Amino acid sequence: MRICAIETSCDETAVAIIEDGKTVLSNVVSSQINVHQAFGGVIPEVASRIHVENISLVLKEALSEAKMNLDEVDAFAITHGPGLVGSLHVGLITAKTLAWYTQKPLIPVHHITGHIYANNFVSELSYPMLALVVSGGHTELVYLKEEFNFEILGSTQDDAIGEAYDKVARVMGLSYPGGPVIDRLAKSGEAHYKLPKIKTQNPFDFSFSGLKSAVLQLVHKQTEDLNHEDLAYAFQEAAVGELMLKTRLALDTYPVKHFVLAGGVAANSRLRELVLGLNEEYPDIQITIPPLWCCTDNAAMIGAVAYIAYKHGVQADLSLSANPGLDYA
Amino acid sequence: MITLGIDTSFHYLTLVLFDEEHVLASVQKEAFKKQSELVLVEIEQLFISAGLTPTALEAIVVTDGPGSYTGLRIGLTIAKVLGSLAHIKIYTLSSLHVLAGIEKDIHVLLDARAKRAYYAHYQQGNVVEEEQILPIEQLAKHISFDDQLIGDGALIDRETFYPDYTEHFIQLKDKWILVEDIDALVPRYLKTNEAYQP
Ligand SMILES: [Zn+2]
């Protein structure tokens, strides 16, 4: 089954053709990052406009890379939430138009489930599975008792981890997006600054606003020049440490066969290192991290999960609408 | 030539399926902020009631602005996708012009928010005053009481009136603009062009 997947939930216009949820026939992503960098964040109206500019080119490129005609596509998959409503609309109209014109099924996808099932490109997934989802909009521990069955064990009570990185980067006068910059600086940093411990009510929940405030205080209080490398190190160790702490707790509490990392922040080098390190502590649990190309938003992952969703009977009609605050569990 | 007319630029979702001079099926309904949800459902319905399959479609004439940004992107995205992948000819038409049709002498006024309105003046399908965005205060003076008016007249203490304009798509055939480079097609947002100086 060849699925043409479309993803426009934020600032990437992406189309991919995926065969049987596993084989990437094409994966085209047109990023707007350079435009939004100038504003220090994504401007929704600008993002929607650029999606309209790019959509036909990206579609054509995805089909030609896969050496396919439109009528050889078996189904169309679309991210219908969560995300920016204006951006979601462009992809949604595209997918609905194509599904109608070709009279093929339309498969609605929750963006985060795409990130989780991106790991399907790396290895066969087994259940029960635990996923640590880390991105600019999400930070959560998701338990999948069986295939395509999602239960959120805990989530962030304030900022998402990616958001926290962006905010800290801004406070430190670094560029947007904050994740890669802080990750790079932290590599040459040392333990020097002390940041407070994080507390949450639900043991599986996360919180990052306290860390952000602590960094802000340090920046404001400091009379001599702050050591950026050391501050980045302190923040990264604290933030990533919080993720690992809650992950371990979940792995100790639930019968997990497979643990996967998911989302944009899965590209963080320190987090990848620590997650792979879990192997020694939990030798019976299979551990998978997504390939770097699949951490940023793309449509390949949407095609991967759409195949699973379709097997589970998920299909939408042409009245499908964008849902910026869509839930999946 | 089986052609689909699409207008999603303002309050309405207006779709017309026609063949040369005859309307095969059409719909014009109030659908503000519901256009994205309804548009493909209605298109599908139009083809079913005309007894046509989607692949019978040969051309699209779509309003490309001015109007609601979100609304314009809906019609334009459909046109871009089918124009680039299904080799369907794409034509554009002004969203104010399509409301005016071939009326003898008509002013079109549509709310652009922030005390401004989109405005144009047409005679028998020809442009007398180009579409522009103007302060409502200024338009109230510009449009005289005897002038025939279509659109959000209430903005200047006149009657708000929208005609059934499904037939206008065909009547204005000589005003359609063929889109040569489909990938470069984008809505004419108008506001960002700073078409007016305060
Ligand atoms: Zn994402």
Domain boundaries, chain B: 3-95+164-184, 101-156
User: Phi-psi region for residue A144, left (φ > 0), alpha (ψ -120 to 50) or beta?
Assistant: beta
CATH classification of B101-156, choosing from 1.10.4080.10, 3.30.420.200, 3.30.390.10, 1.20.1110.10? 3.30.420.200
For range B82-110, the mean pLDDT:
97
Answer whether B3-95+164-184 and B101-156 agree in fold: yes
pLDDT value for A197:
87
pLDDT value for B170:
96
pLDDT value for B198:
26
For range A111-132, the mean pLDDT:
97
Contact A318 B73 (CB under 8 A): no
Contact B187 A96 (CB under 8 A): no
pLDDT value for B194:
38
Q: How far apart are CA B91 and CA B175, in angstroms?
A: 9
Q: How far apart are CA B52 and CA B19, in angstroms?
A: 11
Contact B44 A56 (CB under 8 A): no
pLDDT digits (tens, 9 = 90+) for A15-48: 999 999 999 999 999 988 778 777 777 889 999 9
Listed in sequence order, the residues at least 6 apart from B169 whose beta carbon sits closer than 8 Å to its beta carbon are B3, B5, B16, B18, B61, B93, B98
Q: What percent of chain A stands above pLDDT 90?
A: 88
**Amino acid identity at A73:** V
Contact B182 A56 (CB under 8 A): yes
Q: What's chain B's average pLDDT?
A: 93
Of B36, B76, B78, the CB nearest to A321: B36
pLDDT value for B193:
42
- Which residue did the predictor score with more confidence, A225 or B118? B118
The ipTM value here is 0.95
Please list every residue in chain B whose beta carbon sits closer than 8 Å to the beta carbon of residue A86. Answer: 69-70, 73
Please list every residue in chain A whose beta carbon sits closer than 8 Å to the beta carbon of residue B38. Answer: 319
* Distance between Cα B2 and ligand 1 center (Å): 40
pLDDT digits (tens, 9 = 90+) for B62-75: 999 999 999 999 99
Residue-wise burial string across A155-165, b where 16 or more C-beta atoms lie within 10 A, e elsewhere: bbebbbbbbbb
CB atoms within 10 A of CB B56: 12
Question: Checking DSSP bridges between strand B22-30 and strand B12-19, what pairing results, if any?
Answer: antiparallel
Listed in sequence order, the residues at least 6 apart from A101 whose beta carbon sits closer than 8 Å to its beta carbon are A70, B54, B55, B57, B82, B86
Q: What does the block give as tokens for B70?
A: 């979100």
CATH classification of B3-95+164-184, choosing from 3.40.50.620, 3.30.1370.100, 3.30.420.40, 3.40.1350.10? 3.30.420.40
Could you give the C-alpha distances from A62 to A39, A106, B86, in angstroms and in order?
29, 18, 15
Query: Is the pLDDT assigned to residue B87 strictly greater than 90?
Result: no
pLDDT digits (tens, 9 = 90+) for B166-190: 999 999 999 999 999 999 999 998 7
